[in-house]
Amino acid sequence: MLPFSRVTIIGLGLIGSSIARAARRQMPTVRLTGHDADAEVRATATALGLCDDVSDTPGAAVTHADLVILCVPVGAMDQVARAIAEDLPAEAVVSDVGSSKAGVLAALQAALPGATIVPAHPVAGTERSGPEAGFASLFRGRWCILTPPDGADGAAVQRVAEFWRRLGAQIETMAPDHHDRVLAITSHLPHLIAYTIVGTASDMEEITRSEVIKYSAGGFRDFTRIAASDPTMWRDVFLSNKDAVLDMLQRFSEDLSALQRAIRWGKGDELHDLFTRTRAIRRSIVEQGQDDPAPDFGRSHE
Ligand code: NAP
């Protein structure tokens, strides 16, 4: 039996439209309703046939839902939750896909007192955004982390888990604070480093922009993919996961200083030991199916 039969997706960008596409493919009898604040996105979603209906207001979108998934930037979760509060059916489950969890959970609980809330974070994405960027296989083989609050309704958690399994994801459950620390190091800090290095390179007067781009295959271009990620989404992630990100950044800065010292004093063994350890991490990621085993991230060199 399907875990839900009337699903509403609010925010029809990369993640929301990918959920719609995957749900259409894997659970074709589910009735899908969508809403986005942006009229152009609503028009594109209608033209692409992402949902059965696209509503003009968040309230109208949720009236018949048994699952509502908020797929907007984390800074907009609070506003959307308040906008659906009056029309949300009592038996509906509310979920989200935000990249940070503790702050979003607090905002949803404050805006929707008494509602059944099961937050989720599919650890899958690309640097693109908008309804045309989504695709049905985005979640296949990826992790979806559920962060239910203490005392959450176990049956609702199981239904949300089953929904994501049907979209192709594997499920993990964590406390929201723990999620935020894990993602601070695995996702948020790497994005911050990429934004920094690309920003620094583009500011450098003595190396012209054209040289930065021309010789980017030396490593720089792999940072530029991450640094091309959506500015609104990432601004909100850093502001909402501030404590964990600052904590990881402190540790990272100390490790960077240690590397700086090793280079200054010619401690080749220290550098070699670290680079050997990091190579093993890459091997584990490939072995666990979280990236393409082909050299150079699977880029074709034909
Ligand atoms: P996206 O492609 O930019 O889509 C977000 C959509 O939400 C946009 O169409 C946006 O409209 C709309 N929106 C913004 N505020 C709204 C509001 N108040 N009411 C209704 N719609 C609103 O972003 P995304 O990549 O799908 O990210 C959505 C969520 O998924 C974020 O919380 C993000 O943290 C999370 N997430 C992202 C990734 C990833 O790799 N991208 C991975 C996992 C989770 P506008 O046209 O006005 O911007």
Ligand 1 centroid to residue 230 C-alpha, Å: 9
Same domain, 25 and 59: yes
What was the pLDDT predicted at 301?
A: 54
Q: Is the CB of 37 under 6 A from ligand 1?
A: yes
Is the pLDDT at 100 greater than 80? The verdict is yes
Same domain, 148 and 23: yes
What was the pLDDT predicted at 204?
A: 78
- 209 lies in which domain range? 178-288
The answer to the question of residue 146 being in a domain is yes
Last residue of a domain, one of 174, 200, 216: 174
**Count of beta carbons in the 10 Å neighbourhood of residue 151:** 6
What was the pLDDT predicted at 202?
A: 81
Same domain, 90 and 65: yes
The answer to the question of residue 191 being in a domain is yes
Last residue of a domain, one of 148, 174, 200: 174
Same domain, 163 and 35: yes
Same domain, 150 and 186: no
Same domain, 137 and 182: no
* Ligand 1 pocket test, candidate residues 10, 38, 51, most atoms within 8 A of CB: 38
Last residue of a domain, one of 153, 174, 195: 174
**122: phi then psi, degrees, rounded to nearest 5:** -75, 120
Q: Is the CB of 107 under 6 A from ligand 1?
A: no
- The whole-angstrom separation of Cα 180 and Cα 103 is 10
Token representation of residue 251: 């540790």
Same domain, 136 and 257: no
Overall number of domains in the chain? 2
Token representation of residue 120: 């989720």
Q: In what order do the strands lie in the sheet with 93-96?
A: 53-54, 31-35, 6-10, 67-70, 93-96, 116-117
Same domain, 189 and 147: no
Residues 46-71: tens digit of each pLDDT:
999 999 999 999 999 999 999 999 99
Q: Is the CB of 13 under 6 A from ligand 1?
A: yes
Same domain, 255 and 137: no
- The residue contributing the CA closest to ligand 1 atom 25 is 14
> For 167-267, where are the alpha helices, taking DSSP H only?
176-183, 189-203, 209-214, 220-227, 231-240, 242-264
Residues 169-183: tens digit of each pLDDT:
999 999 999 999 999
The answer to the question of residue 109 being in a domain is yes
The answer to the question of residue 293 being in a domain is no
pTM equals 0.94
Question: Average pLDDT in the 152-173 region?
Answer: 98
CATH of the domain at 204: 1.10.3660.10
Q: Is the CB of 54 under 6 A from ligand 1?
A: no
Same domain, 170 and 34: yes
- The whole-angstrom separation of Cα 74 and Cα 246 is 18
Residues 102-125: tens digit of each pLDDT:
999 999 999 999 999 999 999 999
Which ligand 1 atom is at minimum distance from the Cα of 15?
26
* Nearest Cα residue to 62 out of 91, 19, 99: 91
